A and B are shown apart, each in its own frame.
Chain A
């Protein structure tokens, strides 16, 4: 049986029209249109394009939710083995649409997605590890080269074959750092790399340095005596027994616990489950890690208006930046909605 592919294109490649049609709503045709035709020929031995979704670039980017609802309904109905989008070359809005369709279809439905973009297309960042992206030139003259590369990847993915390295398979790295076995132990590779450096030979680092986001600080609190302050910690302080089973390293979740009626985090009721530091002193006095006692004292003394009713906690050790960002957004959202003015975050 042949595998099924659905194709996504914009108004131009969907042969509806140029910029004047960029506002068109998404539509679906049960045939291969534009690049989907060439693509269909390339996969015809093993698969076929069962239909083409066409959407205006402006419409998609200005009405993403509505567009995605239509697109997801089509994809769910036809349940293809693979979805193809573009190639978008260096068209920014088209690239964003390919990335938007690709990431949602891939993340929500688990269907593999293949697209093509120029290396500077802003859509590339938005793909964020979901679709496989073939590197294509900045204009449509590259179509002839792009389609066979995309077809090769699509066939592999549709058949569930294991995907090889980016440079071998011809896609841009998705940013996934995958652990693999080397033929030499780490220390040997280190000595060899150092010797290469001495000889001024080319060497390749196994870990390009990370680039970090910067966070702009919020405005200062003008009157602390009227402010509600929340306590958040990555030091793993939890009620004894760890009711939410937060991990001791590489946390996958966070917890919140009501502290409205207590003045301190005491050693019997609370403990640390953090696997990255000597727990003895934190278990004796959990306030050492999450100083609820001092916050409550400041509340009593009128230095701060109120200590927020809940404190929030997770484990920082070995927790990925990706998870930390998710936790931060979720906790931040709750605190913001609860009208909290300031937060004290303690780490260990």
Chain B
């Protein structure tokens, strides 16, 4: 498979009467987006705003973040099996509005969405303070059940990203990156002396706001499955979840999965990257045994000598993470885990909900209960009162001066367990 990711650098964002990119400025036709999103009978109202890096703007409660793109060559477009017809993703040429992002907001069940601050202290803690954000607030018709509500908002975000992506269709990119990899036999022949490495990406698969989707299939329903890395980079995997905001993998982070990109970077140099194994995190014990055994088996069948495993969420999936690690290490496969930790606000508690002696190489992406203080915003997109019930917030999170205190739990992407952000933990 050969995929060309063609990046058009977005350096400014404006509202206007057309969708276009001119000299790095992305112009959004608000009405055109609203019209398309309102096609869905379940959508009652759509509000669109923009937030730029440095603006004293707070976005809350955020559901998903999506990168606007358009496929200009090769099969399909957008998110196959979800917002467009099913096609084989992973090949062709994609024009990307690099630096722009669609951010969906609005209450769904009110616990798992998060905060993005575009300036100051808050900006340091989220990767999405650096993107030019098109913020879409979707309200649905009265009486809609929560599962349909979630699906409606999820779909609206993806459709908006596709629509905005069209603006880059005929624009020359500033940067082109090519990702090409043959079958595992071809690659092994090319790099006979490099150690073979698989990437296991765990996906929360536990019900409303806790599901990932692969070509539109809910990850709850799958056995662990093998993907060519290009497929995920080309929109095959999306987020339907709002686990704690800090460590859910947004759709944007699937499209730009940092673990895949950093493994690709070393492919043919230090390692032979075999592919991505998507593993559901299930709630039942039998489910955990089945998926962990199956994941280890896939790694062994591929001849992996090393594996990177990333978690999504925390708590019960800590067990899946460590069960996979134990199985791999016992098979002689060198394993590095990426996870965040729940060490408590004082950092004095055990970091994980489970333990295994085989986990000797672990990357920590931060303590989800680390408390941060975020300055008063000039402008709030969404509803700031949501912080009282969000995971990581509490009643009284906002003080009389408008300063918002919360745990990293509430900050989108702060402790990303695919290693998308740059936090770690040190022992003091």
B is bound to A: yes
Binary B-proximity of A277-294 (CB < 8 A = 1, otherwise 0): 111100000000000000
Inter-chain contact A318/B314, CB cutoff 8 Å: yes
Chain B residues within 8 Å of A275, by CB:
111-112, 244, 390-391
Q: Which of A43-51, A77-85, A200-208, A262-270 contacts B (4 or more CB under 8 A)?
A: A200-208
Inter-chain contact A187/B427, CB cutoff 8 Å: no
Inter-chain contact A318/B390, CB cutoff 8 Å: no
Inter-chain contact B351/A207, CB cutoff 8 Å: yes
* Cα(A241)–Cα(B263), bound, Å: 48
Given that A175-B427, A179-B366, A318-B342 are known contacts, is A193 also in contact with B361, CB under 8 Å in the complex?
yes
CB within 8 Å of A: which B385-428 residues: 388-395, 407-409, 416-428
Q: Which of A5-13, A91-99, A135-143, A248-256 contacts B (4 or more CB under 8 A)?
A: A248-256
- Jot down 25 A-B pairs with beta carbons below 8 A, ordered by A: A178-B347, A179-B425, A180-B424, A181-B424, A186-B417, A186-B421, A186-B424, A187-B259, A187-B418, A190-B419, A195-B266, A198-B271, A198-B305, A206-B362, A209-B356, A210-B352, A245-B388, A248-B390, A248-B391, A273-B111, A317-B315, A317-B391, A318-B244, A320-B345, A320-B349
Inter-chain contact B427/A318, CB cutoff 8 Å: no
Chain B residues within 8 Å of A185, by CB:
258, 262, 419-422
Residue of B nearest to A319 (CB): B342
Residue in A174, A188, A207, A319 with the greatest tally of chain B CB atoms within 10 Å: A207
Given that A250-B409, A317-B391 are known contacts, is A206 also in contact with B425, CB under 8 Å in the complex?
yes
Chain B residues within 8 Å of A245, by CB:
388, 394-395
CB within 8 Å of B: which A175-230 residues: 175-191, 193-195, 197-198, 203, 205-207, 209-212
Tell me how many residue pairs across A and B have CB atoms closer than 8 Å: 255
Question: Does A322 belong to the interface (CB within 8 Å)?
Answer: yes
Question: Does B32 belong to the interface (CB within 8 Å)?
Answer: no
Chain B residues within 8 Å of A189, by CB:
363, 419, 424
Chain A residues within 8 Å of B367, by CB:
177-179
Inter-chain contact B206/A322, CB cutoff 8 Å: no
What range describes how many residues of A lie at the interface? 35 or more
Q: Does more than half of chain B's interface fall in helix, strand or loop, or is it mixed?
A: loop
Question: Does A129 belong to the interface (CB within 8 Å)?
Answer: yes
A296 to chain B, nearest CB (A): 27
Question: Does A165 belong to the interface (CB within 8 Å)?
Answer: yes
Residue of A nearest to B127 (CB): A185
Inter-chain contact B262/A188, CB cutoff 8 Å: yes
Residue in A181, A275, A276, A317 with the greatest tally of chain B CB atoms within 10 Å: A275
CB within 8 Å of A: which B331-345 residues: 334, 336, 338-339, 341-345
Question: Does B124 belong to the interface (CB within 8 Å)?
Answer: yes
Residue in A183, A277, A318 with the greatest tally of chain B CB atoms within 10 Å: A318
* Cα(A110)–Cα(B359), bound, Å: 37
Cβ contact of A190, chosen from B305, B338, B425, cutoff 8 A: B338
Given that A280-B208, A316-B315 are known contacts, is A173 also in contact with B428, CB under 8 Å in the complex?
yes
Inter-chain contact A322/B408, CB cutoff 8 Å: no
B345 to chain A, nearest CB (A): 7
Residue of B nearest to A212 (CB): B355
Given that A193-B336, A194-B336 are known contacts, is A209 also in contact with B418, CB under 8 Å in the complex?
no
Cβ contact of B425, chosen from A180, A247, A277, A322, cutoff 8 A: A180
Chain A residues within 8 Å of B425, by CB:
177-180, 206-207
Chain A residues within 8 Å of B409, by CB:
249-250, 318
A210 to chain B, nearest CB (A): 4
Inter-chain contact B427/A320, CB cutoff 8 Å: no
Question: Does B207 belong to the interface (CB within 8 Å)?
Answer: yes
Known A209-B359, A211-B350; further 19 A-B contacts with Cβ < 8 A: A173-B428, A176-B347, A176-B428, A177-B427, A178-B425, A182-B423, A185-B258, A186-B258, A186-B365, A188-B419, A189-B424, A190-B259, A190-B310, A191-B266, A191-B308, A198-B305, A207-B364, A278-B208, A323-B349
Given that A186-B423, A189-B363, A193-B361 are known contacts, is A321 also in contact with B350, CB under 8 Å in the complex?
yes
Given that A187-B261, A209-B357, A280-B208 are known contacts, is A323 also in contact with B422, CB under 8 Å in the complex?
no
What range describes how many residues of B lie at the interface? 35 or more
Inter-chain contact B336/A190, CB cutoff 8 Å: yes
Inter-chain contact A318/B418, CB cutoff 8 Å: no
Question: Does A302 belong to the interface (CB within 8 Å)?
Answer: no
Inter-chain contact B347/A210, CB cutoff 8 Å: no
Chain A residues within 8 Å of B407, by CB:
249-250
Chain B residues within 8 Å of A319, by CB:
342
Nearest 5 pairs of A and B residues by beta carbon = A278-B207, A186-B419, A320-B344, A187-B419, A249-B391
* Cα(A287)–Cα(B419), bound, Å: 39
Question: Does A17 belong to the interface (CB within 8 Å)?
Answer: no
Question: Does A166 belong to the interface (CB within 8 Å)?
Answer: yes
A108 to chain B, nearest CB (A): 16
Chain A residues within 8 Å of B314, by CB:
317-318
Residue of B nearest to A173 (CB): B427
* Cα(A197)–Cα(B408), bound, Å: 31
A325 to chain B, nearest CB (A): 9
Cβ contact of B341, chosen from A181, A207, A277, A278, cutoff 8 A: A207
Chain A residues within 8 Å of B427, by CB:
166, 173, 175-178
Question: Does B270 belong to the interface (CB within 8 Å)?
Answer: yes
* Cα(A166)–Cα(B426), bound, Å: 10
Inter-chain contact A277/B359, CB cutoff 8 Å: no
